[in-house]
Structures are given as structure tokens and as C-alpha cells.
Copies of this chain bind each other. A is one copy, B any other.
Amino acid sequence: MTARDKVIATALELFTHKGYFNTSMRDITRESKVSTGSIYHYFKDKEGVAAALYQSLMDRMSLEFEHISQQYETAQDQCRAVITLLFDIAESEPDVMAFMLYIKHREFLPNERPVCSSVPFEMMRTMVQRGMERGEIEPRDVLAVSSCLFGGAIRMITLSLDGILDKPLKNYLDDVWVCSWKAVAATA
């Protein structure tokens, strides 16, 4: 693991657990065991660390969604795969999910667009759009439908991150998916 990677991994952990502003560069040097000088060699500033972390996570999600788009034919299968993937990540790598869904990036990445208009979120809306064109999904406003289709799952994930759930997240997957799909499915 390179020094750069160690910094990013440490930043993910500290930013999600303590928050960006409650994490000092000293915290990062201590936890990552990379010196101040090295960090500023690889990154322009503290914001640069956050930006690199953010970018790497967005790239990863874009890639995963790309795979799903290719692997599945119907919008129904694609969207279920997306929600399943999100649930998986939320359980196995809660920090990753927390940084993507839960954190207010724009407080410390003022030039970044809001998450909702990031590439992965756009891809989710594209899936919905295609589902409408294929007649799988009731034709309505795409934003409204996308919100309803994925909103339940996303709320469930934030409940999980907040430690509200007493069972593992995956136990709720079936209930959430049945409800979410019923919300948008074209009436036969």
C-alpha cells in the first residue's frame, strides 16, 4: 500500500467517524503514519485529500453500475441489482457508504456538484428512463419516479449507518425491494 493510498484510506475512516472538520491533518498523519511533508507532497491541501477520496469512490461506483447495466437486460433487474449492491456495500464497507450518502461534501468540497447530480446517480436515473421506454415502469416524471424507486433503499441504508436497525441490513432487502418496485411498476 503506497503512502498515498494509506492517506486516502485513513481519511475515509476519520472523515466518516469524526467528520471532516473534526479531523485535523495531525490526526491523519498520526493514524496513517505518513508524515505531514509526505501528505503535502501527494496532495495540494486538506481539501485535496477529500477530493481524491471522493473521486475514487465515485469512480468505483460508476464502474460497478456500468457492469450492472451490461449484465442485466431489464430495468427491473438492473435496479434490483443496484439496490442489492448498495446494501452489500453498506454492510461490508459502511465507511464507504457513509462517505458517499451521508456526508455533506459541499461543506468542504465547495466546487463539487451535489451527490445527487454525480455520475452514479445520473446512471440510476438513466436506468429508470429506459425502464419507462421499455414499458416496464409507469410513465411519470423521471426524477419523481427515481426518488421513489431508490428513496426507500437509501433511507434504509442511512438507518443502518445510524445504528437504528437491530437486524442486519440484508434482512430488510426483500421488503424494501417489493415496496419500491410496486411504487413504480407499470400496471399490467
Contact = CB atoms under 8 A, between A and B. Distances in A.
Interface of A: 18-22, 102-104, 107, 114, 116-117, 140-141, 143-145, 147-156, 158-159, 162-165, 172, 175-176, 178-180, 182-184
Contacts of A154: 151, 155
19 contacts: A21-B107, A104-B104, A114-B163, A116-B158, A116-B159, A140-B175, A141-B172, A143-B165, A143-B172, A144-B152, A144-B156, A145-B179, A147-B151, A148-B180, A149-B152, A150-B155, A151-B152, A151-B153, A182-B182
Contact of A147 (B21, B102, B140, B156): B156
Contact of A159 (B18, B143, B152, B172): B143
B144 A151 contact: no
A162 B117 CA distance: 9
